[in-house]
Structure 1
Amino acid sequence: MRRPLIALILPTILLGLSGLASAEFDTERLALAGDNRAELERALADAPADQREGIEFLIANMPESDLQTLSADYLLENTRLAYQAGTDAPWAKEIPKDVFLNNVLPYASINERRDEWRADFRKRCLPMIEGASSPSEAAALINQKLFQSVGVKYSTRRVKADQSPLESMKTGLASCTGLSVLLIDACRSVGIPARFVGTPLWFNQSGNHSWVEVWDDGWHFTGAAEPTGNELDRGWFVANATKADRSSKAHAIYATSFKQTPLSFPCVWNRKLRSIPAVNVTDRYVALQKSLPPGMTESLFVVHGADGNRASCRLRVLDGDEVVFEGQTNDEGFDANDHLRVELKQKHKYSVLIGEGDQVIRDTIITDADEELHEHHLVSVDAISESSADKPATAIKALRDYLQSQPAADLKTIRAQSFSDIALTADDVVQARKILAEHHKQTLLKTRSEEMKARVLVHGDHEMPFDYRVFGDAPEDGRSLYISMHGGGGAPKAINDRQWENQKRLYQPEEGVYVAPRAPTDTWNLWHQKHIDPMFVRLIENMVAFENVNPNRVYVMGYSAGGDGVYQLAPRLSDRWAAAAMMAGHPNETSALGLRNVPFALQMGGKDAAYKRNQIAADWQTKLAELHEADLEGYEHFVKIYPNKGHWMDREDAVALPWMAKHTRNVTPSKIVWVQDDVTHSHFYWLGVEESSVKAGATIIATVEGQTIDLTSSDVNKMEVFLDDRFIDLDKPIQITSGGQTLFEGQVTRSLKTLAATFDERSDSELAFPSSVEVEMPKPFPQSLVPAKDLPIYTAAKIDTELTIDGRLDEEAWQQARKTTSFVDLVSGQPTRYDTRSSILWDDEFLYIGFWLEEPNVDAEYKDRDDPIYYDNDVEVFIAGKDAYYEFEINSYGTVYEGFFVWQEAYEKGGYASDPQLAKDAPNQQEFDGVGFTNHPRGKRIAFLGYDFPNFKSAVHINGTLNDDSDVDQGWTVELAFPWKEMKWLAKGDDRSLPPKVGDQWRIDLFRFNKTKAPEPATDSSGWAFGKHGVWDSHIPEIFPVITFAEE
């Protein structure tokens, strides 16, 4: 297999840097251009000879959307100016061709709008770099002068993140993303190789960031619009960057590449975008890490003004009476994650003075974790004396006083106050929740009155009108709320409007606010698209404020297409509902598992056969009964199927309203079953996960028993557990476990900061929690990639005839042998474009393996033993023992490459070093941590890449002509024989029999790897296997197929 760690892999691309033949363009790229093909052909035809390679490079690597839209004139002009800049630059001869093509020539860095910027930027930037003799010096000069020249500054109020330079110049505002794009284009305009770099999320969860790298005999970095004099490789973000994690998709650092690579750049502004190639450059930044002196930590400081924005002001840190630091905090002109950094003693108490003269505010901090952020506010509250700092009541008083003096303060501002860190009691949390809820209500009454008058909610480009009526007398604890979704769906607007009008009058609860919203779209899935969730959350929030709704008595219901919505929204938003009622709908792909804590009513006409709604309703009746029987405290349900009714149930389904009214939401259930839908969420009841790690279909189960919380999930790396005395005693130590491991054990503190933060995140005071603990989940075992029931199973027959190893596979034993199913894509499990099958036989001397490979053009390059044949088309065999496994590769020349891998924890005790081929000083020995599946639970492996399996036999037969593309080949066959007696090191871990006994089971995997992928839209990772792995990695013995050795 192609393995980055062992320096074996180069990206599989459609074009070598020397260009691509026109015939290959016809099949590989030009066909993707559709109606724009003529433009690309003209660009190829009209390109000057010395620029043809550049045009070819662009066409071979540009995103498909550009293939279909960019004109020949645009490409030719871009290429002409790029070559002019590359030729005229004083450092022209120092720039390698591949660097020029990939980092000067491209017209774009990310997915920004495709503008014609080169000529204008070149005219602006040439005077800026006059006299510069190197790319680094020139880039530093541009960074110092460019942004003032074009009138662009940093701001989170920019129109969008992925702005083109001209879009940023039009508004004068850009985020770090837009600023980086602008600087890159400016550099490229004068022949400086530059590329876009960024991380999706800093290690400390403080956000993402983007910056620029410039090539000058290697890559160097700088922050756009953040010049550091004439030097590169400096910036405020270096400390964060050194703590990046190359193995984490969220916390790694990536650089963009125009040339195709196996990675795509993780665009936080558009998480679905996969068209920007990238390389992982984390290691270079981690290497910059400087260790702090023992006992020291680095603290970050930010000061907020009265308006909530960051303010620039004097800040002094005192140790007793001694000023140990003095500096200036950053305002909104700096990146959102760029804070004042101060090196201080760890776990030490300091005084902080903020401001000047009579306006100085004094605060106290105790340093704790490295990179801890200390937030302060310029609005002062009554001072908290040292003697009362440990009294929770002080925080409640300070909160009341602060809200009285700052009635416009929002939840973000409240949690930034110093009093929000004071430890609270359980009774204080109850008081604080009520105070915050009432303050938030008053804020909404002022800020959303026009929205409620208009009776229209807006979310992004979507609008949701709503109508409501109020029934009955209001209970003391607040009204009930019924959200009732109309039918219709994929129909003209007029039809859906009539359905809405009908829904307004369809039900009348005895008590409560009955809301009938109009779906924002007229599509078939009008009630379960992703914009519905935040709109309903806002609707509930508004009704709590304006109609005194009790947030624990909110019910969702719907008919027909509205019932479709209930099927979907009830489980994925179950922490918002007291109960749900589905009438005459269809669940589509949703699962009933997530309904554990929301009582669910289901009603259907027995004759409602469209889309098999009636059959599915009966199936769900059975499912819900089974789930409830297995979990008597959950899955409460009411199902009624009316035998003689069709799609219309003559309003008999209204019985669901009084049934729902009996139920009240429980926001702190003792068991949570969280099943992520295709629309995902980062919070659910008292659980949270990082947005970057949320996956559709992921399941998390959490239970509470006494003071112990147990978590089960194979789909997330980190979880946040929100804690509250409503379900666990926070005055006692708590324990959080998973899979028998203790993830956290200790006592936690309650704080107003966490309470306000969770209220702000959830828009619901009942889902506000005063404490939280973040835990690292145990690493997922490889078995979670492919369930045991899905592993391929094969029975190897024992033979009593001697085989001639000639590669032809024409002997009777092979003809009678059972073949595997056709190989599937290693990652997706999808069928492949060419057929590949294999058979396994055995006798007392050898393990025999045969391959049949369909291939219309059999070719190979490498001929010498242990050449890098993984760059050819090859087949591979992996044979696993308990503590080691063997890898064998062969190409169509018959050239062999091998490796032997031993788990580090088993190496010493297993005595492997006694074999010279497996000694610690053996040639080509190195540490190995997998390819696409790293951080294996068993740890790392030692890879012996100079290993030669003794006395094996191998042969290849070509059914056609090798390396001749003038004809069509049938393919090739491979025949292998491995002597059992030479497998002692594979058998070492569990002392298995050699040869095996009848009935013994081994793990053996079979692969085929290819130089090129199938053309789109086929899904092809270029690796094919006997069974799916779910990840680009053939080195996972736990999911190898199960091979049983039989008599015959």
Structure 2
Amino acid sequence: MLAPLFVSLSLLATVDGAEARPWWGPDVAASLARCPERRADWERMLADVPPERRPGAAYLMRDLPLSDLKELPAAELSRNLDLAYRARDSVAWGGRIPEEIFLDAVLPFASVTERRQPIRAEWLAEYLPAVKACRSPGEAAQVLNRRLFGDTKVRYNTRRIRPDQSSRESIAQGMATCTGLSIMLVEACRAVGVPARLAGIASWPGRGGNHTWVEVWDGGWHFVGAAEPDDKGLDHAWFADEAGGAIRDKPQNAIFAVTYRRTGDYFPMAWEPAARVNAENVTERYRRPAAIASPKPAGKASVAIDVVKGGHRVAAEVEMIDEQTARSVCTGTSLGAEVDINRRLSAEVPTGRDVVITARHGGLGTFAIATVGEDQVLALHLDREPTPPSREKLAGLLSDRFGTDGARREHAERLLTMIPFHDSQRAAAWDAYRSSPIHAELKREFEARRVTTPHRTSPYLWRHVGRKPDKGWALVIAMHGGGGAPKEVNDSQWKGMFERYYKEHPEAGGYVYLALRAPNDEWNGFYDDLIVPIVERLILQFVLFGEVDPDRVSILGASHGGYGAFVIGPKAPDRFSAIHASASAPTDGETMGENLRDTRFTFMVGSKDTAHGRADRCQAFARQREIWKEKWGGYEGGFEWKPDVGHSVPDRDKVAELLRAPARDAWPDRVVWVQSDDVIKRFYWLDSPEPADGTRIEAVVKHNAIEITSSRATPLFVWLDAPLVDLNKAVSVRLNGVAPRVLSPSPELETFCRGIEQRGDPHLAAPVRIEIKP
């Protein structure tokens, strides 16, 4: 305690032998008493203040925030004092600034709670020449608002570290939000003698959201948005109308301006609500009768949209759709992180109605479905699932989409065409399809153990073997021998195939073992052009009603059934994880073996099985497979040649081999499709609406580039999904060497629904379908 006392006494000057008292009054002394440990520092600084600047020093010290009293270097405050007076003496309007305005809005070294990192000296040197010719502080403020943020390369962006950044922090990041930008403009204005201060509101009446801007004194107080110069001058900003509806007597909805002096009111600071910065209520200056007396039309509410990615707003393509009429209410671009958070794309919508809002940005898309009740802000997150209420409403649309009411279905299709696809919708769409009443006839067939198409009907027998795997049962479809024989012979072969031909292998995984009866007693009952639709409908029955995993379906047969495997497999390899044929051979014009590149295929024949050239034809097929494999890769599986064996081959354990094969690859990056009929229109991710016998299509995908060659100029479509390409990036497609077509995929939920409907398989459906024109 001795050192402060000694210093304080030493500051008492003597004049003609009489002791002189300090020049500052008791109010300053009381302020210093709040921090005794630094009192000496501050008294030394005050003692050195020239007489003409003492009012300013006293003003600063009287209400100096306690944190600054404890931590701010005294020399820094002294320098700030010098720079403020120097600026006032250097500008044309300096002498017209009232003393109380100068003290309160030019002299202070900070605005609110920002870090104390002085920049006044630098900006005085930088911008004084730029405003020398200005005739008023208002004119100078507008010059600074146009230059400052370009010079410093600071832009509005919600990615900034904190709201109350100092000017130096904002410059270092190159970004700030409304408070940080306003702090910068106030600091630059004060540096060149322009009275300026922060103004703001805690919550806009009616919709919420806080905002900060700048007030500039020019014969009175005027407002301006920081980094938002307006050609019309001061008192023009995007928030003017909303400020006109502020409410003086509701602190949350009132407008306050920062003052240095104590007033009993405090500036609203959402980032640090407990902090206290002096302010005055200036609401009445902003009130506009027109803003107050212009309520929204009865029965309407404002819906505003934010689109967010990685926690920050982005500029996305947005459409708002009236769910009832399926008509667009509003289209536009949402405002990104560089635009004030209070500004949003919005539209007025009738209350009590559902609106569907869609957003697309950078290859990503999302949606929301909301009931309009009152003014609201909806945030659509591109990197999150839609909200539970939106998903629930979407489930209703999907139910209509796969329902039996034609009008409701058509309405749902229109809406779903507008909704961007999101991964979370896969299960929802499949669940809606699976539970649809459109499958009533299919369910009756399943319960009757038969499968029917417009041209064929086949009964079947089935049983479970082993325990059901977590993803569902595997399905093994077995086809019997016989063929061109009386019905009783084929019936006997069918029942034998079910009861005793293949051994059970529960250790290989739980499965449904199914023996399919040929639809007729013809020689080619299992391998004509119309057999594949029967098999696909059979698989659908068990996927929908039998808890079968569509990625674990295999098919095999012996003799007549083996011929069926040689035909069904190449026609529809995308349906199977593995295929096996025994005691049979390829069929000319039907067995397009190239098509088996991406599905495991095995075949077995005895050396003595020479009827119909079976042994020779299998050997030739095996040699051809090796050629294809060398050319294109793939062709897993192989040929089993059984010496000294006739038509009865040792294939009873083949079910275990098929069950142990890898799951189906529904999205291979290379496919070879040789068409053998006009029935099969889909092959993996290729879509040929007009297939023709002999048409050859080869397609390969690499790094989002698709190369296709086709032997026939025919309509062709490509279905795209994430396993094949990155849907967030551009895709190039080249057909027959012509210059590639580059496009940006736009995944749609309705496209995925159409794929499910066509294929009856959630893993073969896709959200993008592209036409490839010859």
When normalised by structure 2's length, the TM-score is 0.49
Instruction: State the structure with more CA Rg.
Output: 2
Instruction: Considering fraction of residues, name the structure with more helix.
Output: 2
When normalised by structure 1's length, the TM-score is 0.37
